[in-house]
Homo-oligomer: A and B are copies of this chain.
Amino acid sequence: MKPLSTMQERVFNKLRDHKRRTGALPDLSAFARDMGMHYVSLKQHLEALSKKGYVVFESKGRGRSPILDFPAELTGIPVLGNIPAGPLSEAIMDAESYLPLSGFHEDHFALRVRGDSMADLIQDGDVVLFNKRKQPERSGQICAVRVQESEVTLKYLDKTPESYILRPHNPLYPTVEVPLNQVTVEGVYLGLLRGEVLAALVQDRTYYS
C-alpha cells in the first residue's frame, strides 16, 4: 500500500476518529471546517486517499452528497479460507472476504473451518471468529493453534507447566500433548456464524446512486 503524505495521513486519522465517535462519516464541508482546511483542499486529499485505496470516495455531482467510506479491507474482519504454513499476517493479506462487524476489527480475524475435529460443536463450513492478540487465560478455551509449522487447527487448549494439551471435541480424534515452544496460539475463540447468515453478511459492499 502506497505511503501517505503528512496531510493525507492527518485527514485519514481524523476521518477514522470521526467514524469511531459518531458511527458515520461527516459532510465534506463540515469536515473541512473541523480540520481548519479549505473544502477544495480536503477534496483533493480525499481523492488522493481514494486513488491509493485508503478510502472509497465518489463524487456524485453538484449538490449531491458524495459517497465516502472506508473499504471493506480496513473495517471488516478478514475471513480466511484456510491457514496454511507461514505467518498469520500473510494469510490475512489474501482474505477470501470480510465480515462487516462494527466494534471489532484490528485484533480479530475469522476462519472458515475445514474438518470436524470440534464436531458437533463446530461444524465443517462454519466461520469462527477469533481474537488474535489475546492469549488464553482460562483452561479449556477453544483456540486456533499451530503446532510447529503445520496448518492451523481448532482445539480446546489446556496448559501444563511445560506443555499444551490439545483436546478435540470430537472423540474420534486423539488428544495430543505438545511442548510449549512448539505451539503458537494464533487466536482465542469468540463466536461463530453458520449457514445462510454468512451470505447475508459477506456481501461485497457495492455503492449505489
Contact = CB atoms under 8 A, between A and B. Distances in A.
Contacts of A104: 196, 200
A22 interface: yes
Chain A: number of interface residues, binned into ranges: 20 to 34
Contacts of A199: 103
B190 A129 contact: no
Contact of A197 (B27, B101, B203): B101
Contacts of A169: 120
A181 to B, nearest CB: 30
A65 B66 CA distance: 10
Contacts of A121: 120-121, 123
Nearest to A110: B197
A22 B201 contact: no
A192 B200 contact: no
A138 interface: no
Interface string A57-99: 0000000110000000000000000000000000000000000
A192 B195 contact: yes
A191 interface: yes
Nearest to A21: B208
Contacts of A160: none
23 contacts: A22-B209, A23-B206, A23-B208, A24-B209, A26-B209, A101-B197, A101-B201, A102-B200, A102-B203, A103-B200, A120-B120, A120-B121, A120-B169, A121-B121, A129-B195, A189-B195, A190-B195, A191-B193, A191-B197, A192-B193, A192-B195, A192-B197, A193-B193
